[in-house]
Amino acid sequence: MSDEKTFYITTPIYYVNDVPHVGNASTTIVSDVMARFMRLKGRKVIFATGTDENGPKVLEAARERGKDPQTFTDEIAAQFKDIWGKLNISYDDFIRTTEERHIRVVQEFLSRLIASGDVYKGTYAGWYCLSDETFFAASEVTDNLCPNPECRKPLKWVEEENYFFRLSRYTDRLKRHIEENPEFLTPEVRRNEVLRFIEGGLRDASISRSGYGWGIPVREDPQQVVYVWFDALLNYLTVTGWPEDAEKYNQTWPPDVEFMAKDIFVRFHSTLWPAMLMALDLPLPKRLFGHGFWTIEGEKISKSKGNAVPPATLARQLADISGAEVDVCVDAIRYFVMRELPVSSDSDFSMQGLIRRFNADLANDLGNLLNRNLQMLTRYFEGVVPQQSPPDSEIRDLAAQICCEVEEAFESLQFPQALAALWRFIARMNKYADEKAPWVLAREGKIEDLANVLYTALESVRIAAVGVAPFMPTVAKIIWHQLGIEEALSGQVWDRAAVWGGLKAGTRVRDVAPIFPRITAKETPRKEETPAVNEPAGETPYISFDEFKKLDLRTGQIKSAEKVAGADKLLKLSVDIGSEVRTVVAGIAQYYAPDALIDKTVVLIVNLAPAKIRGVESQGMLLAADVGGEAILLMPDRDVPPGSKVR
Ligand code: ME8
C-alpha cells in the first residue's frame, strides 16, 4: 500500500475577497465526497483546498474594509476554515498563497523557466480585468468592458514591462495531449470548448506586474510581482512538497482529479496550467473536472454580485423549519448539491428545491426505510437482529450491483448517478417491505419469514449507510449508531460493503428515532424570508369551465425517448397522439430511464403553444403528479387508444 500513489484531489483556492457561498462550497463538497470515497476504497488520500490571497483584487477588498492586506487575509482564511469545518469538509491540507512554503515554490518555478528561456521580459500593452484578474487581447474587447458575459466590469488599460511565459510554444503539444487523453478534461462540452480556444491560437502570457505591491516578488527582479494566476495555479505543486520534499512529491504528484467550475476551466486550468507544467517536464494532472454554475433565479451566484448564500446560514434555516439537527441539515445540503450538481449546464439553487429533496429523498425514502424497519424490529424482536435464513438472492444481488454502479459513477465523476443508483436500491427496499408486509407475517405467526424479511431490510440499510457515507457523513454515522453495529463506520472498506451478512445476528439496535422530520407546507418559508427561493405559485385561483374547456388533454403513446444533449434533466420524447406523432421535451430524466418509457400511455396537453427547449421544439406537455419534487407521470389504468380525449 505504501508504494501505491497517494490519491491527490484539489479544489480551486478561493479568493479571499469575501467569505464562501454555496457556489464555492459546492466544489469543495464534491471534492470532499470524492476524497471520502477514495478513503473508503482504502486509498491514502491528500485532499487540498485553500485560499488565493495575493493580487490587486484582494488588496482592493482589504482597502475597502480599511485593513492591511495580511490582517484581512488572515481573517478571511480563518473564516473559510471555520465554514469548511461546519460543512464537514475533511481536507488534509489548507494552502494559503501568502505562506512561505508557497512563495519559495513560485520563485523557484519561475527561476527555472527564466533559466530555460520559457520566460522572457517584454512590454505588455493590453486590457486587464481586476474582477477576473485576467488579461484580454485588444481583439477580444469591443467596448472597454470585460468580455466575460458574467462580469462585464470596466477594464483597465495596462502598459508596462512584464515577464512573459511562452504559452504559444505549447499550442500543439496541448492540443495533442487533450486529443490523446479523452479522460483529461470532463465534461465533454467543456473539453470541446478548450479545443476551440486552443485552436483560436494561444498568445504568450504576461505573468508579472511591475511595481504592484501585494504579491510574490520575482526573485531575479524584485520590482516585479508574479501575476496572481501564475502564482495561484502553483499551489497544487506546493502541497506536494515540490521541489524540496522529493519523497512526498513522488508519492503524490500528479493530482488525480482537480475540481472547479467552468469559469476557470478553459483559460487557466486547461491551458495555462498544463503548459506551465510541460515547460518544466512535470506530469500533468490526470483529470480536470469543470462543473456548471449554480444560479439564483437565472443569475450566477457570486461574491461580487452579492446574491451569495452563506451555506451555514442555509443549514441553520433548514434546521429551524424542519426541526432536524443542524449537522443533519448540513448533510441535506451536501446531498442536494451532489444530487443536483450542475455538470454540463447550470442549475438553480433554491430553498424550495432543497426542501423538496429533503422531504422526498431523505424523509420519505431513506428516513422511512430506516425507521419502519427499526420500529418493526423493536416491536417484533425486542430490538435484536434475528438470525438470517438463506439470503434473499434478488436483494443480495441487487445490493452488489448497486455498489458496482456507485463505483463506476465515481470513476467517471458522475456523482448524481451514484446517488440515483443508491436511491434505486432504497426505493426497492421500501417496496420490499410493502410487498412482504411483515405485519401480516407477524399476525399469522410466521416468525421465521418475519425474521428473514427484517434481516434483509436491515442488512440493506447497513449497505445503504456505507454508500451514503461519503455524501452524508453525519447521517451515515447516525444510521450506523441506530443499527447498533459495534465496528466503527470509519473502519469500513468499500469493497466489502455489499458482502451480504455484515449485520450480525444478536446486534441490539439503539436510540431509534427519526432523523429527518418531514417539512410541512406550513413551515416552508415565504420568499422574502429565504436567501434563495424559487417560489411556486401561491393560492391557485378558480377558473371557469369555459377556461378549462380550452385545454386539449389527450392520451398519447410514447414511441421513443432519449436524453437531450447538454441537459441533465430533460428527455426528448416522440408521442403518438393518434392523428400525429408529437415531439415533447419533458423534465423527467432524473425519474425515468428512457427505455422504461417506450410504449407507455401518458396524458398530455396538446394545444399548448410550442416552445423551444434546449434547441428542441416541444409540441406539448406531459401531466405528472409532483410528489415531493419528483415527477410521477399520469398513466391510464387500462389500455386506451392514443389520442383519446381526457376530460
Ligand atoms: O477563481 N456555481 O477563485 P473564486 C458553482 N482564486 N461554483 C461556483 C460558483 C457558482 N455560482 N461560484 C464560484 C478563483 N464557484 C481563483 C481560483 S485556483 C488556482 C484559483 C466555485 O473565489 C467554482 O469552483 O472566484 C469556481 O471555479 C470557484 O468557486 C471560483 O472561486
Q: Which residues contact 430 (CB under 8 A, 6 or more apart)?
A: 365, 368, 369
Q: Which atom of ligand 1 is nearest to the CA of 17?
A: 22
DSSP letter at 152? -
Identify the pLDDT of residue 533. Answer: 28
Burial class of residue 580, CB neighbours in 10 A (0-12, 13-18, 19+) = exposed
Domains of the chain listed by start with CATH number: 7-296 (3.40.50.620), 360-497 (1.10.730.10), 522-633 (2.40.50.140)
Question: Bridge partners of 30?
Answer: none
CA 273 to chain centre: 23
24 touches ligand 1 (CB under 6 Å): yes
Identify the pLDDT of residue 628. Answer: 57
Q: Which atom of ligand 1 is nearest to the CA of 20?
A: 22
Identify the pLDDT of residue 212. Answer: 62
Residue nearest to atom 23 of ligand 1 (CA): 261
How many Å apart are CA 405 and CA 399, to the nearest integer? 10
Residue nearest to atom 30 of ligand 1 (CA): 14
Q: Which atom of ligand 1 is nearest to the CA of 300?
A: 11
For residue 264, the tally of other CB atoms under 10 A from its CB is 18
Q: What's the whole-model pTM score?
A: 0.81
For the stretch 352-405, pLDDT in tens is 899 999 999 999 999 999 999 999 999 999 999 999 888 899 999 999 999 999
Sign of the CA dihedral running 635, 638, 639, 643: negative
For the stretch 414-430, pLDDT in tens is 999 999 999 999 999 99
Task: Using most ligand atoms within 8 A of CB, pick from 11, 21, 27, 294 the residue to mutate for ligand 1.
Answer: 27
264 touches ligand 1 (CB under 6 Å): yes
Question: Bridge partners of 557?
Answer: 576, 601
DSSP codes joined into one string, 329-373: HHHHHHHHHHHS--SSS-EE--HHHHHHHIIIIIIIIIIHHHHHH
Residue nearest to atom 14 of ligand 1 (CA): 14
Distance (angstroms) between ligand 1 centre and the Cα of 27 equals 8
15 touches ligand 1 (CB under 6 Å): yes
Q: Which atom of ligand 1 is nearest to the CA of 268?
A: 19
347 touches ligand 1 (CB under 6 Å): no
345 touches ligand 1 (CB under 6 Å): no
Q: Is 47 helix (H, G, I), strand (E, B) or coil?
A: strand
Distance (angstroms) between ligand 1 centre and the Cα of 185 equals 17
Identify the pLDDT of residue 530. Answer: 39
301 touches ligand 1 (CB under 6 Å): yes
**The Cα angle at residue 435 between residues 432 and 440, in degrees rounded to 5:** 120
- For the chain, which ranges sit under pLDDT 50? 1, 527-539
